[in-house]
Structures are given as structure tokens and as C-alpha cells.
Structure 1
Amino acid sequence: MTQQPPVTAAVHRLVPTPAGRTHLVEQGTGPLVLLLHGFPESWYSWRRQLPALAAAGYRAVAIDVRGYGRSSRPAGTESYRMTELVEDNAAVVRALGEESAVVVGHDWGANIAANSALLRPDVFRAVGLLSVPYAPRGGPRPNEVFAGMAGGPEEFYVSYFQEPGRAEAEIEPDVRGWLAGFYAALSADTMPGPSDPDPHFVAHGGRLRDRFPSPGRLPAWLDEAELDSYAGEFERTGLSGALARYRNMDRDWADLEPYDGAPVPQPSLFVGGALDASTTWLADAIEAFPKTLPGLVASHVLDGAGHWIQQERPDEVNRLLVEWLAALP
């Protein structure tokens, strides 16, 4: 058995990208694994994966996606379209002196990772998706779909996020409290019960946080200091850059028309939580993996897990990632 070199401490860096600069945290040496977070998170979402991947012999790099954390926040909502984010990721790989990388994403990061593999197969040789399965571009405009998901006096949360300034007005006066409630609402041990109002919907004239669990109870994966780390970044940057991802979905739909229905052929991995709405609502996308992810190596849905899967179940996710990475050609 080959002995891996000692794991060095994580290093923070800024590298040039089309965004302006991208902040990343790097740990370990070996084949490059690029880690992409979702909403409302940051590189910090991968704090339990960086040392594990480094110990397994990989160069693990977690970035702040443009609009988040210490990365640049370009002006204009259109600056956050999917094609721009893909080019940021390719630029990070080049800035690190590498020609190729494995890309792994969670939540919105999973969508960005899949499209990075789709649009830049010359750079991204394999793709791991956490929580959100790959669904190729197609069908009606996303905004039409989300508008149709609302029922009666309710509005789907994506539509709520898409109106500039509206979600910011709810979140920014109490970033820490809002984040605590949002994380709890989608975590296995604190999410509302089946008879409670669904936190993915907003009552007309209401707020998303009206359906969060009772204040004060954090999910088991998140302590007060960790919540402070997340809240501190968003208190400094505001939420508009992060929310711009939701506000580009129709623009992405138009940009990606040449890839309508396109599969991602690279070796792939999916890991989701059985209690996560992203897994249950998109069950058809998971069933379609033989066509949409023809290079799929493994697909896992973890019993009793919610949405924040690499933080809720770090040991299990780390094991699955390392096993998958080790099997890649």
C-alpha cells in the first residue's frame, strides 16, 4: 500500500478568473479535485472534505463561487449566468497550473459542476453531484415551470428569490437568524414534519422564514461558531450576488439551447439524501441517469439524510468520494 505524504494545512489563495478574482482554499497534493458550494454557503461547506481528500492523496480545492465570500462580485445580474461560472472554474484549474480536474458540486454547485463537465470536457474529466441530480436543459422556460408549482395562495421559493431586492429585504436585516432557520428547515434532524407548512413555499405577502423551524435550535451538523462563519461572510457581502444565480435561470435556458437534452458522458457520481426535497422531487431525473449520465459509476441515496449532505454525513460522503475517485481512470 502506497503511503501518502503528511497532510499540510489548508491554504487560502486568490487567483485571476473572468469574475476578477476567485478565492479558494487548497489542501493536499495529487490529482486536482475542485469543490463547488451551493446557496447559501461558501467554500466553508467543504471544511470536512478538504482534509479527508488531502489525506487520500488528492489536491482538494474549494472555491467561493463568484458573488460569494472573498471572490469578486461583478456588477449586473447577467454576470452570474451559468456560462460565466463555468469559465471561472476552468480558469481556476489553469491558475493552479493544472490541465484537468475532477469537479464536485453540492446544491447549485452540483448544477454548475454538471454544466462545467458538459461545456468544458477538455478540462473536467469526471463530475460528482451532491443533493441535486443532473437534468439536461429542455422543456419550457424555468420561470414558467416554477410559476406553475405554486398552488392557491402560495409561491414557490425560487420565484420568490428571482425578484431583485425582495429576498434581500427579508434576509439582510437578520442574516444570522435567517441562515440558522434556512439550514434547519432543510436538515434531517430539524426540518418541519409532514403535517407542517412546506418551507419551500411562501404565502403571498409573507416571508420564507415564516415557515422555518422555531428559532434557537441548530441542526446537529452546525454549531454556533460555524454559523458565525457563514453569517459573517454574508453580512459583509450582502445576498444579491448569491441570489443572482436564481435570477439567471431563464438566461441559462437560452444560453444552453445548443445542449438541449445533452448527456454528461464523463465518469460521474451522485449522492443525495432520502429526506431532501431535491432528491424526492427530482426522482425522475435520478431514474433517467442511464441516459443522462452514461458514465455513472455509482448513485447513493442516504437514508435519514437531508439537504446539506456533506455536512450532515461527512464520514459517509468522504468515504464515497474517495472510493469513487480511486476508481477513476
Structure 2
Amino acid sequence: MVFAVGASKPLVWAGARTRPQRARPRTAAPAVPRSVRCRAAAGEGDAAQAASVADVAMPQGRVTDGGSEPGAPLPGEEVVRWTEYGAPIYEGYYEWKNGWRIRYQRSGDSGPPVLLVHGFGGNCDHWRKNTGELGKAGCRAFSIDLLGYGYSSKPSPKNAEPNSIYCFENWSEQLRHFIETKIGEPTAVVCNSVGGIAGLQAAVDDPSLVTSVAVLNISLRMLHVSKQAPLSRPFVAAFQRVLRETDIGKAFFGSVAQPRTVGNILRQAYHDPATVTDELVDCILKPGLQDGAVDVFLDFISYSGGPLPEDLLREVPVPTVVVWGDKDPWEKVEWGREFEAYPTVKEYIELPGVGHCPQDERPDLVNPVLLDFVGKYHRPVASG
């Protein structure tokens, strides 16, 4: 659910808030790309916006040739919406391991592939303002519901080891399987919040499948056991166990899984409350009310192990771009700036006046950044 969209926001307490290790002093504020700054100042309309998105990628000569024409759905797909830019969004399901059904959406029939990965509590529809525009601009754009979220299967974690199903290693496997079986070629991966951990993990696990990674306000995982104050660790673990294994957790979930509450939490995450619409609340809340969603939620909020973004960013062997909405109340921009010094981070970009979910709050800023990212760092597959 969206109340989980900022997974680093403590549900109980955060313990000691440690920060990513600084690799070298930061000497200057990162520059927002010229196209982003100009759009924020000019307030252009949708038609000019679409043209500018195409222009962003033109210098690289590979993202767009003027926009791909709408094609036809593949077997098992259907058109779920037409964007205001005239691009169809196709939706389908495919079967992953154990018979789990995974939902995905796509737009565009040719060009470099881009896979969009949502954060905790999100789903494909959190990229509804990006998938179609990327497809129209000349990409093959895909978004995916991670296992347990959206309309993907929600297998019960009760008969498994805690955090063995809903964990970044498993989601990494899911993303890599999707790239291999549905996309069919190495792919640029774009992620928001905790989705950034899954995307980076996929790149570390098999860089032959991931050409580059862009992370938007990546979760810093402040409830990770290594970031908790030593004295608080047993209390955090005990509270998580109570939520996961008793009716208290279900009652907590039920109290939060309400339109008004979800809307209020989104208005915390988004800097501009006017961008939190009834449509957005419905997109997030409705799949979160499906059977099994409560167990997924309770299992994940008890997940205090696994990888950290700072560790993955040191290991990732592909070009990485870090994007940060500077008004994020949960993942503070001051912490995000630390990543600018990492050798693997090719660009660090701040978006002024934007909160935790930039792709939805300000797609007019984010889409040009994503096209520029694909144009610079996606490696086309060599023919022959």
C-alpha cells in the first residue's frame, strides 16, 4: 500500500540514523539538467512538453527517430489506456516460477528497452505518466508489478522463512527473468524508492542483462538492523514479530488501508498536495486490498536485513544515475547527496520542489531526465 511508499519512514522508531559514508567532500550543488530547469520555469503545456521530451534524446541519436507509431497488443495483452500523448498502454500477465502470475504494462514497439520498477506499495500504475511518454518518444517502455504488489500474485509468506519471498534477492530474480523472457535484450532499469534496491541488486547479480540503472529517491533503509541503535534492536525485532504474527498487525493494516489515510500519507510524500488525486489514491489502494496483501505488507515491514543502497552502489558494475526530489520528507536530500561522490554514479540530479515520488509528482521534469539517461548510458546490443 502507499503508506509503505516511503519504506525508510519508520513505522515505530528509526534508532540511530546513520548516513551513507562520504567518499569525498562535496564541492558544489549538483546542476539540474538545462531542460529540467527551463521546464520548471517556463510552465509549458502538454504539446510543447512532448516535443521537448523528444528533443532531449536527439543528441544521442538512438532514443527517438520522431516517435514510434502505435503497434498492436501481443498475444494475451490488451490496451488499458491511451495516454494524452496518443500512445497506447498495453497490459499483460506472464507466469514466473511456482506458477506466480506477474502483471506488466508496456508502450512502444521499437527502440532501447527501459524497465520501470515501483517502490514499496506501488505498482505499474505509479508509472502511468511515464510509460506512454517513453514509448511515444522511441523507447520500448515496460513497467512491472513486483511479486506481492499491484495485481501480481501474493503468495503467503506464512509457511516460509520470514522475508524469504518478499526480499530484494527474489525481486532481483524476478526482474532478470522478465528481462530475459519478455524484453529479450539488455535493458536500462529505472526505479523509485525500494524498487531501487531491487534494480541495483539485479544489475549486480547479472550485469549482462542490465545496461544501466537510474534510481529516483532510492530508499536508504533506515530500519535496517545495521542502522538501528544497538539497544533498540531487540525491541524493534519484537515489535515487528508482533505485527507479523498476531492480529495486531492486521488491525494496523486495516486502519491504514483507507482512502483518506492513504491520501494523507501521499500528501506527506508529495511536496505538492494538489498532485495527490483520487485517481492516484485508487491506483495505489485498490490492489492493496486484494487477498494476501496484508501478509505481504506485514512480512516486508519486518524485513531489516538484506542489501543496503550504499553497498550496492559501490558494487554495481554498470553506469548509474541518482535522481532526488529535494523536498522528500522521508529520504532526505542531504543523505542522497552523499552518493554523488561514488565512482559508479555518473550523474547526480536534484529536482527542485519535488517529493518522494518524482515520476508521478513531476513527470514533466522526470521524463526528459530518463530519456537523457537512456540516450547516454544504454548500450545497444551489437548485431551479428
**Could you say whether these structures have the same fold, taking a TM-score greater than 0.5 normalized by the shorter chain as the test?**
yes
Instruction: Please state how far the C-alpha of 1:148 moved relative to its aligned partner.
Output: 6.1
Aligned match for 2:299, one of 244, 250, 255: 244
Aligned match for 1:224, one of 259, 267, 278: 278
Which residue of 1 is the match for residue 317 of structure 2?
A: 265
Task: Kindly indicate whether residue 383 of structure 2 is the aligned counterpart of residue 303 of structure 1.
Answer: no
Aligned match for 2:287, one of 222, 228, 233: 233
Which residue of 2 is the match for residue 98 of structure 1?
A: 184
After superposition, the C-alpha distances for 1:168-204 in whole angstroms (9 at most, x for unaligned) are 4223244322211211122213xxxxxxxxxxxxxxx
Instruction: Please state how far the C-alpha of 1:277 moved relative to its aligned partner.
Output: 3.7
Instruction: Please state how far the C-alpha of 1:145 moved relative to its aligned partner.
Output: 2.2
Which residue of 2 is the match for residue 4 of structure 1?
A: 67
Aligned match for 1:143, one of 203, 208, 225: 225
Task: Kindly indicate whether residue 107 of structure 2 is the aligned counterpart of residue 27 of structure 1.
Answer: yes
Q: Which amino acid aligns with 2:227?
A: V
Task: Kindly indicate whether residue 228 of structure 2 is the aligned counterpart of residue 179 of structure 1.
Answer: no
Q: Which amino acid aligns with 1:264?
A: V
User: Which one is further off, 110-119 or 237-246?
Assistant: 237-246
The 3-state SS of whatever aligns with 2:156 is: coil
Q: 1:274-293 maps to which residues of 2 (within 5 A)? A: 274-280=326-332, 283=335, 286-291=337-342
Instruction: Please state how far the C-alpha of 1:309 moved relative to its aligned partner.
Output: 1.2
Task: Kindly indicate whether residue 63 of structure 2 is the aligned counterpart of residue 63 of structure 1.
Answer: no
The 3-state SS of whatever aligns with 2:304 is: helix
Report the Cα distance in structure 1 between the residues aligned to 2:178 and 2:322, rounded to whole angstroms. 23
The 3-state SS of whatever aligns with 1:248 is: coil
Equivalent pairs counted in the alignment come to: 282
Report the Cα distance in structure 1 between the residues aligned to 2:332 and 2:220, rounded to whole angstroms. 13
After superposition, the C-alpha distances for 1:5-50 in whole angstroms (9 at most, x for unaligned) are 2244111111122362211011112221111111222111100000
Report the Cα distance in structure 2 between the residues aligned to 1:271 and 1:281, rounded to whole angstroms. 10
User: Which one is further off, 115-124 or 13-22?
Assistant: 13-22
Q: Which amino acid aligns with 2:320?
A: S
Report the Cα distance in structure 2 between the residues aligned to 1:87 and 1:268, rounded to whole angstroms. 20
Which residue of 2 is the match for residue 203 of structure 1?
A: none
Instruction: Please state how far the C-alpha of 1:56 moved relative to its aligned partner.
Output: 1.6
Task: Kindly indicate whether residue 145 of structure 2 is the aligned counterpart of residue 89 of structure 1.
Answer: no
The 3-state SS of whatever aligns with 2:276 is: coil
The 3-state SS of whatever aligns with 1:65 is: coil
Report if the CA contact (8 A) 2:212-2:320 is conserved: yes
Q: Which amino acid aligns with 2:175?
A: N
Q: Relative to 1, partners in 2 of residues 1:61 and 1:162: Cα closer, same or farther, differing over 3 Å?
A: farther
**For structure 2, which runs of at least 5 residues remain unmatched after alignment?**
1-57, 59-64, 71-86, 380-384
Instruction: Please state how far the C-alpha of 1:4 moved relative to its aligned partner.
Output: 2.4
Q: 1:188-227 maps to which residues of 2 (within 5 A)? A: 188-189=271-272, 219-227=273-281
Q: Relative to 1, partners in 2 of residues 1:74 and 1:147: Cα closer, same or farther, differing over 3 Å?
A: farther
The 3-state SS of whatever aligns with 1:79 is: coil
Report if the CA contact (8 A) 1:15-1:95 is conserved: no
Identity percentage over the alignment? Answer: 23
Report the Cα distance in structure 2 between the residues aligned to 1:170 and 1:134, rounded to whole angstroms. 24
Instruction: Please state how far the C-alpha of 1:115 moved relative to its aligned partner.
Output: 1.2
Report the Cα distance in structure 1 between the residues aligned to 2:179 and 2:229, rounded to whole angstroms. 37
The 3-state SS of whatever aligns with 2:138 is: coil
The 3-state SS of whatever aligns with 1:10 is: strand
Instruction: Please state how far the C-alpha of 1:131 moved relative to its aligned partner.
Output: 0.6
The 3-state SS of whatever aligns with 1:327 is: helix
**For structure 1, which runs of at least 5 residues remain unmatched after alignment?**
190-218
The 3-state SS of whatever aligns with 1:44 is: helix
Report if the CA contact (8 A) 1:171-1:178 is conserved: no
Q: Relative to 1, partners in 2 of residues 1:317 and 1:141: Cα closer, same or farther, differing over 3 Å?
A: closer
Report the Cα distance in structure 2 between the residues aligned to 1:134 and 1:248, rounded to whole angstroms. 13
Report the Cα distance in structure 1 between the residues aligned to 2:167 and 2:300, rounded to whole angstroms. 7
User: Which one is further off, 85-94 or 297-306?
Assistant: 297-306
Report if the CA contact (8 A) 2:243-2:298 is conserved: no
TM-score (norm 2): 0.66
Which residue of 2 is the match for residue 113 of structure 1?
A: 199
Which residue of 1 is the match for residue 369 of structure 2?
A: 320
Report the Cα distance in structure 2 between the residues aligned to 1:75 and 1:279, rounded to whole angstroms. 30
Q: Relative to 1, partners in 2 of residues 1:45 and 1:148: Cα closer, same or farther, differing over 3 Å?
A: farther
Report if the CA contact (8 A) 1:25-1:61 is conserved: yes
After superposition, the C-alpha distances for 1:303-323 in whole angstroms (9 at most, x for unaligned) are 211112111111100011111
Q: Relative to 1, partners in 2 of residues 1:187 and 1:161: Cα closer, same or farther, differing over 3 Å?
A: farther
Aligned match for 1:15, one of 87, 91, 94: 94
The 3-state SS of whatever aligns with 2:274 is: coil
After superposition, the C-alpha distances for 1:132-185 in whole angstroms (9 at most, x for unaligned) are 1779xxxx99225235698xxxx99xx769941655422324432221121112
TM-score (norm 1): 0.76
